[in-house]
A and B are shown apart, each in its own frame.
Chain A
Amino acid sequence: MAVSEILLNVVYYVVAAAALGGGLAVALSRNIVRSAFALLTVLFAVAALYALVRADFIVAAQILIYVGGILVLIIFAIMLTHKITDVKLSNESSPGPVSVTACVSVFVLIVTGFVYGYTWRTGPKVLRKADVASPGQPPVPAELSMWQGSGRTAVEPGGTILDGFVQLRLKAPAPPSGQARAQFGLLKLKKAGEWEALPPPKPVTFAPGADGAVANFDFDRLPEGKYRWRVRLDVEGGDNPWVEYGVDKDVPDFTSEKGLTRALGRAFMGPYLLAFEVVSVLLLAALVGAAFLARKEVRE
């Protein structure tokens, strides 16, 4: 495991522990004000978890809404409650053993059901099988795939990569001859139907693995735009054909975008417009209700 992956894992576990610890503090604290403040830890830790999966807009929205809005409201409500500091209002009343057992088993059931019921994506999803050929050698059947985010998420054809970072991979069952290397290339969409080949990066030598030979290449900080990618066996002196994904189609292999904001905006203003508006009507109704409750009674 590379150092960077260890680092990511460490960050993940620290953040997850902070979220769990904060949650426990919320539930177990004997002082209700402290419970409310412990919620701050939970909300920030959850935001950090969102950041770990590159959901930048969700991070900002989470903090803005939950910390800036809801948590402040909760603390206000607690502080404005009459004589809250005198009465030790909290979770001191311990529930009976039956209810504890019931709650815990339901929780465990839900979590186990989710973990085992969900199809976790464990490996790279093979996008395409192709024969890569080098002159004078039999063609090698190869698998092409595209990953993002420390190699854990496969990018579907036509998908979106964030922050211009994508890892391309060519995997062959047997190691090709010694000097063979893989050469990855990108094409960027200039106008409709017009693709411009970007200057190809350095070829990558095949690294023999347990189940074949693998060549990885990371493209980093790609400018925003639509891309297609291709690969070829690079043999010195030879001129091999590129193997491309979806040559005949005009569809790009992936789109590079900075952050989630644009995709979310399009989703809200497009397919989910009705849901979005309905939610805002709901909020408006809540606001009207609050104003009604808060107004003074008019004595007749």
Chain B
Amino acid sequence: MIALLAGFSWSDIVTGDWYVALLGIVVVCAIIVNFIAVYAGVNTLLERKIAAHMQARVGPYQVGPHGSLQWLADALKLMVKEDVIPRDTDRLLFRLAPYIVFGGSFAAWVALPYTVGWSPAVMNVGILYILAVSSAVVIGILMAGWSSGSKWALFGAMRSAAQIVSYEVPVGIVLLGMLLIYGTLDMQEISAKQETGFCFGFMPDWHGGIFSWGIFRHPPFTIMAFLIYYTAGLAETNRTPFDIPEAESELVAGYHTEYSGMRFSFFFLAEYANMFVVAAIATTFFLGGWLPPFGHLLGSTFPVSPFLEGLFWFMTKSFALVLLMMWLRWTLPRYRVDQLMDLCWKRLTPLAFVTLFAIGAGEYNKYVGLGLGVVVGAVALALVGKVAFAPPPEGLPPVRAPAKA
């Protein structure tokens, strides 16, 4: 609703082309909802397959060739399953919560810059809008946890909300730093501004391809910002290693413990939709949005249509980041609650402030930025080297037992 009001070319409605505007809204929303459903379905299969292969298993294998139609079977099962509402629930809120969670993540999709010059809703306040509507997810999760009338759900909801609210701080600060470079909140303009440019504002008109992207504008700070954003984004989507709200060994399933059938699948859709939104924001801010990585070296990838070209690159980059999330899920163990808060407030947030300050200084004067970058980059490299080549600490067994002579 808000997206509808704020985003669509409002003047269409005012000047009388209101039916065009309304039709556009309906069509675009239908496309996005269906896309989210299919994308989430395929991703569940992908996630199970990745998990299986990383653990030397086979994964789903029965439905379709190599189990490739498993997601359809899953979707069908979820749709026809009985909608159980436990006795001790607050029925109204219990029914409402999945829709609020899904609505929050769905609303963010309309402002993403999918391709050259086209977003469903071109918004002057794009990124701010996305961050804002995503906050409805927290409310929905709290609603689900409280109304379930179950201690597991309540614990999961509280943990999730605390986690999301905390990790919004480094996300906001890091994105603020990147906004200093672009000088606009509009997602389309942010993408377009990464077409030309180079580190620290040298050679502003150079078509550098990958070197013009946001991530290389103020190295090492923008690279740091990307890592901070991606880490915090993982935490905001409640993904491993930050999935303590759904920690199976402690909380059964977290805030959606009591849900079943279609309502449960709405939480599922919302989680996958959120993953894509986080990946898409990272793509737009750091990886050049819909720009191809070669600049003008190779010409356009799809000479026929810049629309398709932009769509291809945006989707490729975003899905690569989503895939990385799955990879991380099966690589890293889960954090504890206190470790999670420690990471957010004592490490990511101060680092985010460092990036904000350094990018601001670099935008103010490119030589200051260059100097800061070289100094901090050298220190960071030295630290990484020290950690990587450090001998194992005393008192702990060495990784591999030394060969006895």
Among B5-13, B201-209, B225-233, the stretch that binds chain A is: B5-13
Q: Which residue of A lies closest to B130 (CB)?
A: A60
Consensus secondary structure, chain B interface? helix
Closest to A257 in B: B124
| Least distance between A7 CB and chain B CB atoms (Å) | 6
A142 within 8 A of B: no
- In contact, B6 and A51 (Cβ under 8 angstroms): yes
Whether, in the assembled complex, B167 has its beta carbon less than 8 Å from a beta carbon of chain A, the answer is no
Q: Does A189 contact B (CB under 8 A)?
A: no
A221 and B392 alpha carbons, distance in the complex (Å): 64
Task: List A59-74 residues whose CB lies under 8 Å from chain B.
Answer: 59-64, 67-69, 71-72
A67 adjacent to B139 (CB under 8 Å): yes
Task: State whether B146 touches A72 (Cβ < 8 A).
Answer: no
The verdict on B93 contacting chain A, using a C-beta distance below 8 Å, is: yes
Chain B hits for A214, CB < 8 A: none
Range of interface residues on B (Cβ < 8 Å): 35 or more
Across the interface, name the chain A residue whose C-beta is closest to B5.
A51
Chain A residues closer than 8 Å to B186, beta-carbon distance: 258
Looking at A3, A48, A56, the one whose CB has the most chain B CB atoms below 10 A away is A56
Q: When chains A and B are docked, how far (Å) is the Cα of A257 from the Cα of B113?
A: 20
Please tell me if the beta carbons of A56 and B154 are within 8 angstroms of each other in the complex.
Answer: no
Contact partner of B132 among A63, A165, A218, A221, CB < 8 A? Answer: A63
A187: CB under 8 A from chain B? no
Instruction: Determine the distance from Cα of A258 to Cα of B2 in the docked complex, in whole angstroms.
Output: 18
Q: Are B142 and A75 in contact (CB under 8 A)?
A: yes
Give the residue name and chain of the A residue nearest to B126 (CB): A60
Q: Which residue of B lies closest to A76 (CB)?
A: B161
Summed over the interface, the residue pairs from A and B with CB atoms below 8 Å come to a total of: 127
**A44 touching B2 by the CB < 8 A rule?**
yes
B124: chain A residues at CB < 8 Å are 56-57, 258-261
Contact of B142 (CB < 8 Å), options: A11, A31, A79, A259: A79
Pick from B14, B135, B161: contact of A63, CB under 8 Å: B135
CA distance A218 to B9 in the complex (A): 15
Query: In the complex, A8→B9 CA distance in Å?
Result: 14
CB distance from B21 to the nearest CB of A (A): 9
A105 to B132, CA, bound (A): 37
Determine how close the nearest CB of chain A comes to the CB of B364; give it in whole angstroms.
14
Closest-by-CB residue of A relative to B133 is A63
Cα–Cα, bound, A150→B16 (Å): 10
Contact, CB under 8 Å: A54 / B139 = no
Task: Indicate whether A137 reaches chain B with its CB closer than 8 angstroms.
Answer: no
In the bound complex, CA of A186 to CA of B276 (Å): 44
- Interface flag for A2 (CB, 8 Å): yes
B176 to chain A, nearest CB (A): 13
Residues of chain A within 8 A (CB-CB) of B142 are 72, 75-76, 79
* Complex-state Cα separation, A40 to B128, whole angstroms: 19
Kindly identify which residue among A11, A57, A69, A221 contacts B125, using a CB–CB cutoff of 8 Å.
A57
Please state if A221 and B11 are interface contacts (CB–CB under 8 Å): yes
**A156 in contact (CB, < 8 A):** no
Task: Enumerate chain A residues within 8 angstroms of B134, measured Cβ to Cβ.
Answer: 68
Q: CA separation between A39 and B39, bound complex, in Å?
A: 33
- How many residues belonging to A are interface residues under a CB distance threshold of 8 Å? 45
Q: Is the beta-carbon distance between B11 and A163 smaller than 8 angstroms?
A: yes
A64–B16 CB distance below 8 A? no
Is there a chain B Cβ closer than 8 Å to A34's Cβ? yes
In the complex, A144 has a CB within 8 A of chain B? no
Residues of A within 8 A of B143 (CB): 37
The answer to the question of A174 belonging to the interface, with a C-beta cut-off of 8 Å to chain B, is no
CA of A7 to CA of B14, assembled, Å: 9
Task: Verify B132–A67 contact, CB threshold 8 A.
Answer: yes
A180 at the interface (CB under 8 A from B): no
Residues of A within 8 A of B133 (CB): 63
Evaluate contact between A68 and B168: CB separation under 8 angstroms: yes
Question: Min CB distance, A42 to chain B, in Å?
Answer: 13
Q: How far is the CA of A133 from the CA of B151 in the complex (A)?
A: 81
A174 CA / B179 CA spacing, docked (Å): 54
Q: Does A52 belong to the interface (CB within 8 Å)?
A: yes
Chain B nearest Cβ from A71, distance in angstroms: 6
Q: Is the CB of A64 within 8 A of B15?
A: no
Please state if A37 and B93 are interface contacts (CB–CB under 8 Å).
yes
Docked CA distance A128–B135 (Å): 48
Q: A48-B2, A79-B154 are in contact. Are A2 and B16 (CB under 8 A)?
A: yes
| Residues of B with C-beta under 8 A to A61 | 128, 132
Task: Decide if A179 is an interface residue (CB 8 Å cutoff).
Answer: no
Query: How far, in angstroms, from A71 to B13 measured CA to CA in the complex?
Result: 32
Q: Give the CA-CA distance A259 to B139 in the complex, in Å.
A: 28
Does B129 lie at the interface of the complex (its beta carbon under 8 Å from any beta carbon of A)? Answer: yes
* Interface check A33, CB cutoff 8 A: yes
Other contacts beyond A33-B146, A59-B132, A79-B154: 11, CB < 8 A: A4-B14, A4-B18, A33-B90, A48-B2, A51-B6, A59-B129, A61-B128, A64-B128, A79-B146, A149-B14, A163-B9
Contact surface of B with A, Cβ cutoff 8 Å:
1-2, 5-6, 9-11, 13-16, 18, 90, 92-93, 100, 123-125, 128-129, 131-136, 138-139, 142-143, 146, 154, 158, 161-162, 165, 168, 185-186
Chain A contacts to B: CB under 8 angstroms: 2-4, 7-8, 11, 31, 33-34, 37, 40, 44, 47-48, 51-52, 54, 56-57, 59-64, 67-69, 71-72, 75-76, 79, 149-150, 163-165, 218, 220-221, 258-261
Shortest 9 CB-CB contacts between residues of A and residues of B? A259-B124, A68-B135, A51-B5, A63-B132, A60-B128, A64-B132, A165-B11, A51-B6, A4-B18
Task: Give 20 CB contacts A-B under 8 Å.
Answer: A4-B14, A4-B18, A7-B13, A37-B93, A37-B143, A48-B2, A51-B2, A51-B6, A59-B5, A59-B6, A60-B125, A63-B132, A68-B131, A68-B134, A75-B161, A76-B162, A150-B14, A165-B11, A259-B125, A260-B124
